Chains A and B, each alone.
Chain A
Amino acid sequence: SAVISQKPSRDICQRGTSLTIQCQVDSQVTMMFWYRQQPGQSLTLIATANQGSEATYESGFVIDKFPISRPNLTFSTLTVSNMSPEDSSIYLCSVGGASNQPQHFGDGTRLSIL
């Protein structure tokens, strides 16, 4: 399966600032996704990163707060904007192929907001 690298692996940020998380895949993939995993909880899908078009956001997540880029088939970024302590979480990138296929995940970015 694809090798997925996320940067940074962790960060501590001040409230009100923004952080951009990068996701790099070692092969071209059709679908890329961004998830949030709050402490002790399961994965919540933020958005699907579409190559060549705007990301598709899930209910409760908006582009102004979580802008996403997908410039090509191997790379995507997620920005967490105007951060507050409630944004402290693990942010995960995943990749998938055809419908009804499993996704494969990077190791995530552990984000803490002070």
Chain B
Amino acid sequence: EDQVTQSPEALRLQEGESSSLNCSYTVSGLRGLFWYRQDPGKGPEFLFTLYSAGEEKEKERLKATLTKKESFLHITAPKPEDSATYLCAVPRETSGSRLTFGEGTQLTVNP
């Protein structure tokens, strides 16, 4: 069964304190990994797609990387507005149009 595990569950940072979030998966033959940001009271907002080990994508203070077993979302010099829950998801092995989501990492950046 597809499994996606995110760590840590929650992370508190001071403004400017860089860190990384982890997403590990057990899907064999990975066909993509997606990162989302979710603000309270909102639906998940798509951030990045990664398809191949070694691939990297960047957007402002966020950089997503992918290996054969996990993905990292690196946050460089975060600001309070980066506070949100970050979710990763992978297409199911049995049905690529359906996604399996991780439990998310709740990030809080204090000023």
Contacts and interface: CB of A to CB of B under 8 A. Distances in A.
Interface of A: 1, 4, 31, 33, 41-43, 45, 48, 92, 94, 96, 98-108, 110
Contact of B41 (A43, A94, A103, A110): A110
B65 to A, nearest CB: 17
Interface of B: 31-32, 34, 36, 41-46, 49, 87, 89, 91, 95-99, 101-104
A112 to B, nearest CB: 13
A107 B43 contact: yes
A108 to B, nearest CB: 5
Given A102-B46, A104-B46, 8 more contacts: A99-B95, A99-B97, A100-B91, A101-B97, A102-B34, A103-B34, A105-B36, A108-B41
A12 B99 CA distance: 29
A42 B103 contact: yes
A42 B38 CA distance: 10
A42 B36 CA distance: 12
Contacts of B43: 4, 92, 94, 105-108
B101 A102 contact: no
A103 B99 contact: yes
B71 to A, nearest CB: 14
Contacts of B49: 101-102
A57 B50 CA distance: 28
A104 B87 CA distance: 13
B34 A98 contact: no
Nearest to A94: B43
A100 B101 contact: no
7 contacts: A43-B87, A100-B91, A103-B99, A105-B44, A107-B41, A107-B42, A108-B41
